[in-house]
Chains A and B, each alone.
Chain A
Amino acid sequence: MSWRRIAEVVAREAAYRSRREAERSLRFFRMSGGSMLKYNAFLLAVFTFMSSMIGLSAFSGPEVAYLTLIMLFLMEILMGVLFMALNLQVLVSDRLLDPIFHLPVSEPEIRRALLWVGIYWGGAALPFVLIPGAAVESYLLRDPLILVGAIMGSLIALVLSMALGYLAGSLATRYTRSLKGRAVSTVVWLLVLSVGFIMGPLMDAVSQLYEGGAVQALYMVPPISFAVMFESSGALLSSLLLVLVSYILFRTGTSRFWRVVTRGEVPLPKRPAKWSLSFGFTAALMKEVKMATRTPRIFASIIMYSFIFPLVFIFPFFSEGLPQGFSGFLAPLVLAVGGLGGFSILYLYVMEASGAKTLYSLPLTRGRVALVKFYTFLTVNMPVAILIAAALAVLMPNGAIPALIYLAALSGSALLNSLTYALLLPKEPSHWSTETFGRTLVAVLFLIEGMAYFSVGIASLFLPNGLRATTSLITLAAIWIVDSILLTVSGRRAL
């Protein structure tokens, strides 16, 4: 069996486990052999469009073009880390490689297969974050070396992101009793998942370097360093150093990941663990919360949106205040931040994994499943959300209504997403994962919701100041009306 065949089998198995009983109408969005190609093609199209548009910045001159190239390079690495870490953790948590270990297949073949699985799951599209933009810049600036440097940089970015992805993915043990281990793992996953938000500070640092007159320093930064490495010894050194670091990290990452996937069974506790029974709704809540906190990757995903979005989009205004004339935009802003925060309820479904099959023999309606997930989401996220709302109310002028909008948007959107996912769940016993709904469908839902909130912000631009909060309140009312309709529908449908 060749390594490519192993990779195909593993990738298909992951997709099959969740896809086999899903709704026919969602077939386009699910990953099969063919749709893996679709998924890569979808990403490739999105990346190419985005990258080409950013590449047009070369009209503003070479310095701006260099800055955007660096930004695209960083984006490729950060997205690659995210892709690899998320996909590799599926291999670990679902033990997808275990059946392969029983076969007469050599270790190098399995290792190569591991790399190839990442390519199946979106890795093939990653170089298109950087290369199309570089091609546009190269054409506009009549400088072919930019494209050459970008191609080399793109490959190194791929290796580096794979290396970091392996290191993060190796933290994806299925479960652990150690509270400390879970806490560390959750923090690492929070960092991995929020890599996109590191872009801002990183680009600020690069811009300051440029604005401070250190233009030469830009030549040391990849992928520019690759383009000019035959003209500058510093650039050559920087490029070689990056290649070396990437190689070392790659070796370390793959070795560590290999140790994790070949570790086998989880060691048993030495003493019988204490146990107690819980009753009523507490039992259902305990089941959800314990499962979430025992799988750090999932837990990090559930809480990330509630932490990161406010941190990035609301917190800066606490110290700086809103720009002059923009006071009415706080309501649409917190509506969007709260609304997108509710999206992470998806992970409460994903964490069920193969255990979800047991739910199908129970007297459960889809509405009841959605509500249990919703209450769990509130339990986990509300303490922080209430603190954020309190800060909004106290620190921002006229912040009381936006604070309430934030809380209502977060909870309303969480319920909306929960009910949507409950209705989309497969009809027959299935393993639940992101593939259950289809990665593309998940991305499309997120985009639709994001665009809806964005549209409210745009619409507010054309409204008088006093009506801006009203628009957000109307949107909020619409969310809750849809919630009640979906609740009625899902309450009638058995799992």
Chain B
Amino acid sequence: MIRIKCPFCGERDHSEFTYGGDASIVYPALDASAEEWHDAVFLRENIRGMQSETWHHVNGCRMWLVVQRDTVTHEIRSVRPAHEATAKLFAASEEEVA
């Protein structure tokens, strides 16, 4: 059972979340070519080690999160909100605490 520290809810069982996918994918503009879209939708690295991935706290706060997880050990290095502006707010408040 992976335990994920949701920035909004605290540490929870992974069964509260659903796995999204590779968080490093940058989706092209809607009017980009089919080739660009093909690469973004279908091409994936099969990473052994630390991977950046999205998780959805679907049975919790329903926020999408970016999780740095080791695919071998399941160690989670960091969790942040996927929404960039929100993530920045969190980073700022963490700095304040520090």
Q: Do A and B come from one complex?
A: no
